[in-house]
Structure 1
Amino acid sequence: MTHLKRLDLRTLIVLVAALFAAGAASVLFIQPAASHGTSIAQPSRHYSCWERWGSDFQNPAMEQEDPMCWAAWQNDPNAMWNWNGLYREQVGGDHQGAVPDNQLCSGGQTGGTRYAPLDDPGAWKTTKVDANFTFTNWDQANHGADYYRIYVTKQGYDAQTDALDWADLELVKETGDIDPGVGRPPASGGGTLVDIPVSAPGRTGHHVVYMIWQASHFDQSFYSCSDVWFGEGQPAEETTPPTEPTDDPTSEDPTDEPTVPAGYACTATAAVNSWGSGATVTVKVANTGTQAIHNWMLHWEWPSGVTLGNIWNAEHSTMGTMEMAEPVDWNKAIPVGGSVEFGLNVSGSLASAPEFACLPS
């Protein structure tokens, strides 16, 4: 299935929903929860921080035990909370043009400075790998892929002192097209785990695995840095990933389930009150999971001719053609079974709500 066919199918679904709702001045349009993803084995820097500290972020021990994660947390907690949202739009395949040297891990500081500390070299926690290992990406919303490109730093690169440049990397794997849903289901959280076999011989010590995931639903490019350790001498406090069996250090079993955060889920419901040349949209964000939500993000695209006028009880930003809303201080946390609301006014004809993607953390 080509990228164009996927977009046509998605457009058709949205069009049918709009036609079904046409003619109503006030429409209740319920959207499914969705999100993005990142590398979880070997874990990306931001996902790895979330694994260790997401449920223990107030622990003062983070500063001493995990200073790189602590620095990222101090800079912006959303580097952790939104571990599944590190992507750029409209790159058009020119990754080196969009992502400059020394900013590879943050995707060229996508989202401003939110992910900037991920670019800093230093004592990032590593997971042990062999020359042949399985790289796993969690495609939470079944975006599919036009391709994955997996790079590993060249022997001689110093991850402790050298911010990552393109020249530091060797491309070791490129996949072809991967249709949405092709892979294996995670133990919880929805979506698909995509396993990619990688061979990177001739390396020892601390290295960085760099991923480019070109999603196929939009021109969205996801980036991640994963810290790994080849060979002997891994620091004592580091642990092997869940995908590596303990009885045979020379091989890996991709059927062993990586650890994923369980119980986080949210949906967005929108009531649209249209007056023809504009509309008021009231959005409810509900916790539909089994764990309390600490933070959330919605993103969507307006139909042609619709523009945002003003928004209340949320912070608005854009990334390319994508609209994004994040909570204000009082409505970040949502208990299990709870919900929060925000509103916005738009100009232009809006008969029904766009498709919201809800990102809980």
Structure 2
Amino acid sequence: MRIARLLAVPLIALAAAIVVLLPTSPASAHGSVINPASRNYGCWERWGSRFQAPEMATEDPMCWQAWQANPNAMWNWNGLYRENLAGNHQANVPDGQLCSGGHAEGGRYNAMDTVGNWRAASVSTSFSLRLQDQASHGADYIRVYVTRSGYDPTTQPLRWSDLTLVSQIGYTPASQWQPASQGVQIDIPVSVPARSGRAMFYTIWQASHMDQSYYFCSDVNFGGSNPTTPPTNNPTTPPTTQPTTPPTTPPAGSASCTAAYTQAGAWTGGFQADVRVTAGSRAITAWTVTLTYANGQQVTQVWNGTATTSGSTATVRNAGYNGSVAAGASTTFGLLGSGTSATPTVTCAAT
């Protein structure tokens, strides 16, 4: 049993983190703070079904720069974590990199650190922060911080010295969390008296299944009002604008593609992976990736693609918006699976 479990701390006063998703989501492996939404969850929730809509650049410019920098930071809104830090958060997450978890996942989430006018949720000085745990990991602890009075998230990078701990809970197994549409969720009471204007909540979720630390920045406006919000994202509806357009007359040669499989996370009884599909020497208009696992693993969910399964074999075809890939260019899809994580045999076919 870890020290955190022995020193389980009662609820103090603020909020925690969860999955950036309302009842449905594109990826369901881990979790995020969903209310007030973490930066990448909020960007996915508002724009995931139309992530190339040009109006985002003016209506939601901080999300626009994040989507341009790395769309996978939003598609994988629930994967912003670091492993094996032994609780040494400040030593491993430098000032100015708190919102990306110290450039977690090879820098996938770096745009979360960008200083600017992120869309802020309107909150009162007393509310409940909600964290969703899609994989039912539970928590060794959850700590919620708020930025000090006078800190301006629109002009200043976030530093550890800007934060004040306002709420925390100790060891809390998933069985004690509330059921959610996917996994479980927990509400953490927050009280920040006499605050007004812009601020940020910073949540650290130390999962219980292994030494895995999650980091979430949530922008808020105490006593303010939210700007006009685009329609709630329906993750099952693909964007109407295709990311790329193939040439009118493809060059000579056969359509071909390759697929590279990368494990993105694993836990007892399940795993998450990313697959990068790269076109060959000519543009392609559609692709199909076949994944065959050797030891009974099964693909249970796919985003940025459509899947059919037969036992331990999954056939993933492009979604309506990412089948067209220019010569030498790439697109990605993600998946969740059941069983022990392992690299499958991967083939790719294109037209």
TM-score (norm 2): 0.65
1:119-178 per-residue CA deviation (whole Å, 9 max, x = no partner) reads 112111111111111000000010000000000001100111001000010000110111
Give yes or no for contact 1:87–1:222 (8 Å, CA) kept in 2.
Answer: yes
Task: Point out where structure 1 has 5 or more consecutive residues left out of the alignment.
Answer: 7-32, 240-258, 265-289, 294-311, 342-352
Question: Match for residue 304 of structure 1?
Answer: none
Amino acid at match of 1:214: Q
Q: What is the RMSD of the two structures over their aligned residues, measured on CA atoms?
A: 3.4
Distance 1:43 1:318, change over 3 A: closer
Deviation at 1:335, TM superposition (A): 2.1
Percent identity over paired residues: 47
1:75-106 per-residue CA deviation (whole Å, 9 max, x = no partner) reads 10001100000000001000001100000000
Give yes or no for contact 1:78–1:114 (8 Å, CA) kept in 2.
Answer: yes
Question: Match for residue 64 of structure 1?
Answer: 58
Question: Match for residue 244 of structure 2?
Answer: none
Question: Match for residue 328 of structure 1?
Answer: 276
Question: Match for residue 192 of structure 2?
Answer: 200
Distance 1:72 1:123, change over 3 A: same
Question: Match for residue 228 of structure 2?
Answer: 237
CA distance in structure 2 between the aligned counterparts of 1:136 and 1:100, rounded to whole angstroms: 26
| 2:114 maps to 1:114 | no
Give yes or no for contact 2:142–2:206 (8 Å, CA) kept in 1.
Answer: yes
Give yes or no for contact 1:43–1:226 (8 Å, CA) kept in 2.
Answer: yes
Deviation at 1:182, TM superposition (A): 2.1
Deviation at 1:231, TM superposition (A): 2.1
Deviation at 1:193, TM superposition (A): 1.2
Give yes or no for contact 1:148–1:212 (8 Å, CA) kept in 2.
Answer: yes
CA distance in structure 1 between the aligned counterparts of 2:71 and 2:98, rounded to whole angstroms: 20
2:208 aligned residue (182, 198, 216):
216
Give yes or no for contact 2:80–2:101 (8 Å, CA) kept in 1.
Answer: yes
Question: Match for residue 96 of structure 1?
Answer: 90
Question: Match for residue 315 of structure 2?
Answer: 340
Distance 1:126 1:210, change over 3 A: same
Aligned length: 254
CA distance in structure 2 between the aligned counterparts of 1:150 and 1:236, rounded to whole angstroms: 25
Amino acid at match of 1:70: W
**1:65-80 alignment runs, 5 A limit:** 65-80=59-74
CA distance in structure 2 between the aligned counterparts of 1:231 and 1:45, rounded to whole angstroms: 20
CA distance in structure 2 between the aligned counterparts of 1:124 and 1:144, rounded to whole angstroms: 29
**1:122-271 alignment runs, 5 A limit:** 122-186=116-180, 188=181, 190-232=182-224, 234=225, 236-237=227-228
CA distance in structure 2 between the aligned counterparts of 1:221 and 1:196, rounded to whole angstroms: 18
Give yes or no for contact 1:125–1:238 (8 Å, CA) kept in 2.
Answer: no
Deviation at 1:235, TM superposition (A): 5.7
Distance 1:238 1:156, change over 3 A: farther
Task: Point out where structure 2 has 5 or more consecutive residues left out of the alignment.
Answer: 6-26, 240-257, 278-286, 290-302, 317-338, 344-351
Give yes or no for contact 2:264–2:274 (8 Å, CA) kept in 1.
Answer: no
CA distance in structure 1 between the aligned counterparts of 2:199 and 2:51, rounded to whole angstroms: 27
Give yes or no for contact 1:147–1:213 (8 Å, CA) kept in 2.
Answer: yes
